Amino acid sequence: MTRKIDIFDTTLRDGEQSPGASMNTEEKLVVAQELLRMHVDIIEAGFPISSPGDFRSVQEIGRLAGDDAVVVGLTRAIEKDIDRAAEALKTAKRPRIHTGLGVSPQHLNEKLHISEDECVERAVHCVEYAKRYVDDVQFYAEDAGRADQEFLERVIQAVVNAGATVVNIPDTTGYQLPEDFGRRIKGIADNVIGIENVTISVHTHNDLGMATALAMAGVRNGARQVECTVNGLGERAGNTALEEVVMAIKMHGDELDAHTGIVTSELTRASHLVERITGMTVQANKSIVGANAFAHSSGIHQDGVLKARDTYEIIDPADVGAAGSEIILSARSGHAALRHRLGELGYTFDDAEFDEIYNRFLEIADQKKEVYDEDLESMVQERQRDITAIYSLDALQVSCGDPLVPTATATVSDENGVQHVVCSTGTGPIDAAYKAVDQVVSVHGDLQEFSVKAITRGIDAIGEVTVRIQSDDGKIYTGRGADNDIIVSSAKAYVNAINRMIQTARLAEGE
């Protein structure tokens, strides 16, 4: 039997740190549900001391996960961080505190301003302090990729002696070459006494485009846990992509002496879900989950695939959920069919909630010949955005064209349920709609990015708009909106981004 490699998903922590990809607690719970369906072993749910939102996310995901996954809270090597994480993790049946500090010369000398001896002392203390709260403590040696190997092994030996159950060796800057990183992991596996009783984890970044190769080098040389994110989401060039790691291990399990417990048929759906929630578009040629991952345009390739799929495809698309049967719903579909399909997609609602969902489904079905899974996902997520909204767009009417002056009349409700009817002109219909919304909301965001795409096929497809706006303090907020009408989608996206900006400001004020 090959070694079991644990998949540690940090989409909700490290992935969310990607600029503009922040998620609120409700959205994190939706992603966490999908991670659990995928049988991810460990979910890093957040950095509890960083914000009230992260604290609540760790709490709620702890409740959600039950016995199905380890739930992790990140901390610095600081007692108050560890205290806060321990408090958030009280809801989790399988809690883990993830604590640590930098170990490279750059971090010791330029960031932390401490000696190697002080680093070892802090590392030991943070592990021992965390062990007061939980049995499962993971230590991260930040920027281990640029650390002195002898010193790195010294630090790891110290935290293993202190009781760490997992040691995380991150190439934080994506600096290493795979063979060098592999030797680094092997040195720890060979030289640290007692390491056979501790899980070696690897956490690699894609700054040089080698994150997955680095992770595989770690697995080949003794790592039994890989830290990754859906779609490779993350700071700078991103983290190791979960889907790439899982399928690489699946395709090369014998030579790596490794396997995972991931349900690979969920990979494509997880990718689409994270893409929609974060607004971070997956490039078409992305491996495993990109739109072109199993597309063939060359005549030679097409001929080969038609004769035998494996002439040009090493992966069966069905294995990653990129193909398969699909229940098509229409306006003639009843409650039972819709409830059944939503259940298959992982959504459950009480009767009152479901009646609202069904009515919205009928509105969409009246406008479209067929309602696809992507339409349903968008519909549910749009509803969740409305539930948590401070301001909501109730109605929008726009007149535009040449030589008309673009004019928008909007009805916007505030958190007290008061409706405001406002009108504005603009350089175009979307500009007019945004200026109308600005007359009601209490803040303004400068539009930095605007994108639109059809969620499903056909001329009647639902269009989803993603916008990024910048607040006065320079922070970026992402908003999303979906509707058959692109102008309405655009206005919904702007209102959603404004709501996020206000919610973040209120959390910072401690409301």
Given this structure, which CATH class describes domain 3-278?
A: alpha beta
pLDDT of residue 458: 67
CATH code assigned to 390-508: 3.30.160.270
Write the pLDDT tens digit of every residue in 381-434: 777 666 667 898 999 999 998 888 999 999 999 888 899 999 999 999 999 999
Cα separation, 263 vs 39, in Å, equals 6
Single-letter residue type at 70: V
Could you give phi then psi for residue 455, rounded to 5 degrees? -75, -40
Name the 3-class secondary structure at 202: strand
Ramachandran class of 346: left when φ > 0, alpha when ψ lies in -120 to 50, beta otherwise: left
Contact partners, residue 320, CB within 8 Å, separation at least 6: 243, 247, 264, 265, 267, 268, 288, 289
CB-based contact 260:249 (threshold 8 Å): yes
Q: What is the pLDDT of residue 267?
A: 96
In this prediction, residue 240 carries a pLDDT of 97
Ordered DSSP codes for 299-362 = HHHHHHHHH-GGGT-SS-GGGGTSS---PPB-TT--HHHHHHHHHHTT----HHHHHHHHHHHH
Place of tokens 């008309």: 404
Q: How far apart are CA 111 and CA 172, in angstroms?
A: 14
Nearest Cα to 155, choosing from 194, 109, 188, 111? 188
**pLDDT averaged per 10 residues in sequence order, the chain, 511 residues:** 96 88 88 97 97 94 98 98 98 98 97 97 98 98 97 98 98 97 98 98 97 98 98 95 98 96 96 89 90 65 60 82 64 81 82 87 78 78 71 92 90 90 93 92 86 72 84 84 87 88 77 46
Helices (H) and strands (E) in the chain, counts: 17, 16
pLDDT at 456: 64
* pTM listed for this prediction: 0.78
